[in-house]
Chains A and B, each alone.
Chain A
Amino acid sequence: MNLAAIIALAVVLSTMLGAVVYGQRQSHGKSTEEWAIGGRRFGMIIFWFLNAGEIYTTFAVLGISGFAWSFGAPAFMSLCSVSLSAIIGYWLTPKIWAVGARRKFITQADFFLDAYGSRFLGVVVALAGIAALVVYVQIQITALSMIVRLALDANLSPLAAAVAGAALMLTFVYVAGLRSAAFAAGVKDILMLALVVGIGCTIAHRVGATSILDIFRQVQAQNPGIGKFPGLKPEEHLTTVWLITSSINVALGTWIFPHMFQLCYSASDANTIRRNAIWQPLYSLSYFFIVLLGFAALVAHVHPPGGDLNGAVLQLVADRYPAWVGGLLAGTACLLALVPGSVLLLTCGTIFSRNVVQAARPDLSDRAALMVSRGSMIIFAGIAVFLTVGANRSLVTIGLSAYASIGMLAPGVFLVFMKRRPRPGALLGGMAAGYATLLVPAMADFRRVHAPEWDAGLIALIINLLVVGALSMALKSVRRPAVAF
């Protein structure tokens, strides 16, 4: 094993160990509520790190830099997604938190079940949430398997590397809960921020430029048009229309993810969430350096293995820096995938046991429920591994499809807070129409021909909403008091 691999492994293992010790010292008992939402007691700092942990994932660091390397300006979209999500969050999440605290919700499906009073809808929402989360786990496993192959052994098969990544993630969830994840999120964020800024500030002379500004100068001289939309590959239709539609869809979808719901519940009070929304956007300013690294990789003409755009920056640092820096970055990038990935799996497991199994067997004990949720996570991780293998797509592209999929639940969340709430049947009809827009090949082709620049998720969301509206008029909506369920 080489030095870089040893350092990478040391970073991952020591953080995991620290997280487990921290989690056990701070935890209060072993209930599902404690394991899944930290007993609803998270204050400002720990909540900040958990939230930021969701921002600093492989999607951001490896995905965005790879996007900048491959397409150019479309990577700037990352600067819109965090800030605009924070705005939606400022308005929406205190409401989600308040209802959750009052009614003791743990999952998102709890929220739907209570708001719409339909068990069938509750189960459908649970499964739809899990489906979107598995796609999100796929991002993390795609990244993990790439890092494992880059750092440890290039000859490892993609399947073996993906399985190794999934196993690591499962181990972490089993020994840890949400509290440990928050600790590990803090460590990985500090490490990543230090590395991104540190490498960003020193990269210039290592790629033959005189300054950061010179990197921008060179990259634009070598690749005319890289600094504005549609970037380097006009045939991909990543225009400003794409920027607008995909950013709106991401902003609307962010808080609809089941794990973000659980994150809301974990806050100790509503103002913790509101204050967090103020500071969260500023964190994304560091994406400047991530874009810069993608551009530096272009200037340096790096060749990531297999042309995998997600590996561009790791390859750049491996080529141009001492082994220990490469190891530190690889290890931290592993954490970027492991920590959010484990939160996602934890959410999948909780939803499955609580809203699918317990919907059928209400007499299940809390202990048995915990067993079911831990067992089911192996299956969900397995599905994510299956989706990973053979795909060499951009992490950003996979991410956008996860947002498209979770967007199907958005009408049900936003409309709860309206004076007139739609009927469960209308929501189900809207979801069916939205999924059809995304998945039926004929409709996907129609989209590609007639609205190639539009984000698929936003089109599906609009169709979903139109169908909900039409069915509501046909079925008559239910008038209920607005806030109190």
Chain B
Amino acid sequence: MTKPSAKPRKWHRWLLLAPFAWQLGAAPFINDVEIPGVPVPFPLIWQMLGVILTSVVIALVFRMDAAAGNVADDGEESDV
């Protein structure tokens, strides 16, 4: 969004787009999938996996943010 400044790298924030790709981008393509013998609709399973993925991704980005020093407790961030 903003131009990168000299300070912390934030490329890892692009990871935050992965759940959008999973839950929305892939939705049309997995809509007709059925797993034989599993009566729970596959699109429902897919979305639940997406929820778990989201938590994992946010946790990961939080750790990487912390390591890069851009999660100061006062909410200040270096470039945005």
Contacts and interface: CB of A to CB of B under 8 A. Distances in A.
Interface of A: 73, 76, 79-80, 82-84, 86-87, 90-91, 94-95, 97-98, 101, 213-214, 216-217, 220, 226-229, 240-241, 243-244, 247-248, 269-271, 274-275, 277-279, 281-282, 284-285, 288, 291, 417-419, 482-483
B48 interface: yes
A285 B75 CA distance: 29
B74 A270 contact: yes
Q: Pick the 6 closest A-B CB pairs, nearest first.
A: A227-B41, A98-B75, A270-B75, A83-B54, A79-B47, A216-B39
Interface of B: 1-3, 13, 16, 19-20, 23-25, 27-28, 31-32, 39-44, 47-48, 50-52, 54-55, 57-59, 61-62, 65, 71-77, 79-80
B24 A281 contact: no
Contact of B77 (A282, A419, A483): A483
B47 A86 contact: no
Contacts of B80: 95, 417, 482-483
Nearest to B1: A418
B41 to A, nearest CB: 3
Given A213-B39, A228-B31, A229-B27, A279 B48 contact: no
A464 to B, nearest CB: 18
A288 B41 CA distance: 11
Contacts of B55: 83, 86, 278-279, 281-282
Nearest to B37: A213
Contacts of A76: 43-44, 47
A87 B59 CA distance: 11
A247 B20 CA distance: 10
A243 B41 CA distance: 16
A98 B74 contact: yes
B12 to A, nearest CB: 12
A159 B20 CA distance: 42
11 contacts: A83-B50, A86-B54, A91-B16, A101-B74, A213-B40, A227-B41, A228-B31, A229-B31, A244-B28, A248-B24, A274-B71
Given A94-B77, A240-B28, A278-B62, A83 B71 contact: no
Nearest to B20: A84
B56 to A, nearest CB: 9
A145 to B, nearest CB: 31
B71 A270 contact: yes
Contacts of A269: 73-75
Contacts of A101: 74-75
Nearest to A247: B24
Given A90-B16, A269-B73, 14 more contacts: A84-B20, A87-B16, A87-B54, A91-B16, A94-B71, A95-B77, A98-B75, A213-B39, A214-B39, A228-B43, A244-B25, A278-B58, A282-B52, A419-B3
Given A98-B74, A278-B62, A228 B54 contact: no
A227 B34 CA distance: 10
Nearest to A213: B39
Contacts of B47: 76, 79-80
A247 B55 CA distance: 17
Contacts of B48: 79, 285, 288
A282 B59 CA distance: 12
A216 B51 contact: no
A274 B41 contact: no
Contact of A482 (B2, B23, B40, B75): B2
B59 A278 contact: yes
B11 to A, nearest CB: 14
Nearest to A484: B76
Interface centre among B23, B48, B52 (most CB of A within 10 A): B23
A103 to B, nearest CB: 12
Given A73-B43, A90-B61, A80 B50 contact: yes
Contact of A271 (B1, B13, B39, B73): B73
Nearest to A226: B41
Given A228-B31, A278-B59, A285 B51 contact: yes
Given A83-B19, A417-B80, A418-B1, A243 B44 contact: no
Nearest to A218: B39
B41 A216 contact: yes
A263 to B, nearest CB: 15
Contacts of B31: 228-229, 240
Contacts of B57: 87
Contacts of B76: 98, 483
B28 to A, nearest CB: 4
A76 B50 CA distance: 11
A479 to B, nearest CB: 13
Contacts of A217: 39
Contacts of A82: 51
Contact of A91 (B13, B32, B40): B13
Contact of B23 (A84, A98, A271): A84
